[in-house]
């Protein structure tokens, strides 16, 4: 599973999954923390829709961690004040970078979580769509 999809599932999904996957790696390997979880900024680059110009919307606070497993490095970056999740994401990223055997079993777990995220979202969307306007023409 590619990194973009994987990180989306781990961040949008239940925090239990990231904890569970990181714990497995911590039990089986030595995880060296290269950079402790810390706050940093990420600048948001946008394209507006009137003239399709690029501009900077502003910055967003992120929590970032870097770890090393063997010769492989992993990065965990997440919006907000999320030290624990940032560390877990870094461990999981390093596990994939090192192509550890454990990662082969994770695809099914990630896909299951992705399904759960989709179902939750659909439920919330259905609720939100109660506010969708149904216009009726008036007889005048």
Partner 1 sequence: MAYVAVKGGTEAIEASIQRLQFERIQHQELLDVKTIMATMRGMVDQVMSESSLYSEFLAALAIKQAEGNMEEAVFLLRAHRSTLPRHYYTRVVETETMVVERRISASFKDIPGGQILGASYDYTHRLMDFDLIDESEASMQTWLEQYLVEEVAVSEGTDLTALPKVVDYLRKEKLLAEVSEDQTEPIDVTKRSLQFPTTRGERLQVLTRGQTGAVTSLGYAAIRGYGAVHPTVGELRVGKLPLTIGHPTDPSDDFTNDYYIGEIKVTEVESFVPITVQKDNHREELEFEIGYGICYGQNETKAIAMSILDQSLEFGRQGHPTQDEEFVLLHIDSVESSGFISHLKLPHYVTFQSKLDSMRRIKKESGQ
Q: How far apart are CA 117 and CA 49, in angstroms?
A: 29
- Among positions 41-100, residues that touch partner 1 (CB under 8 A) are 41-62, 64, 75, 77-81
Smallest distance, partner 1 to C-beta of residue 108, A: 19
Binding flag, residue 122, partner 1 (CB under 8 A): yes
Find the shortest distance in angstroms from Cβ 42 to partner 1. Answer: 4
Residue 85: Cβ within 10 Å count: 21
CB of 79 to partner 1, least distance (A): 3
Can you name the residues that pair with 55 across neighbouring β-strands?
A: 46
CB of residue 113 to partner 1, shortest distance in Å = 14
Closest to partner 1 by CB, 3 or 19: 3
Give the CA distances from residue 119 to residues 31, 96, 107, 127, in Å, rounded to whole numbers and listed in that order: 34, 27, 18, 13
Q: Is the dihedral of CA 24, 26, 27, 32 positive or negative?
A: positive
Q: How many CB atoms lie within 10 A of CB 83?
A: 17
Tell which one of 19, 20, 32, 39 touches partner 1 (CB under 8 A).
39
Residue with tokens 């919330």: 124
Indicate whether 8 belongs to the interface with partner 1 (CB under 8 A): yes
Binding site residues, partner 1, CB under 8 A: 2-5, 7-8, 11, 39-62, 64, 75, 77-81, 122-123, 125-133, 135
């Amino acid at each position: 599973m590619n990194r973009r999809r994987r990180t989306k599932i781990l961040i949008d999904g239940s925090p239990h999954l990231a904890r569970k996957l990181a714990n497995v790696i911590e039990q089986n390997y030595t995880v060296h923390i290269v950079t402790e979880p810390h706050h940093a900024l990420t600048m948001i680059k946008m394209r507006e829709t009137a003239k399709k110009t690029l501009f900077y919307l502003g910055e967003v606070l992120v929590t970032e961690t870097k770890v090393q497993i063997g010769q492989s490095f992993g990065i965990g970056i997440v919006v907000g004040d999320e030290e624990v999740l940032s560390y877990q994401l870094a461990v999981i990223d390093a596990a994939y970078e090192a192509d550890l055997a454990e990662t082969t079993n994770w695809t099914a777990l990630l896909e299951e979580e992705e399904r759960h995220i989709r179902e939750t979202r659909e439920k919330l969307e259905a609720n939100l769509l109660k506010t969708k306007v149904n216009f009726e023409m008036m007889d005048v």
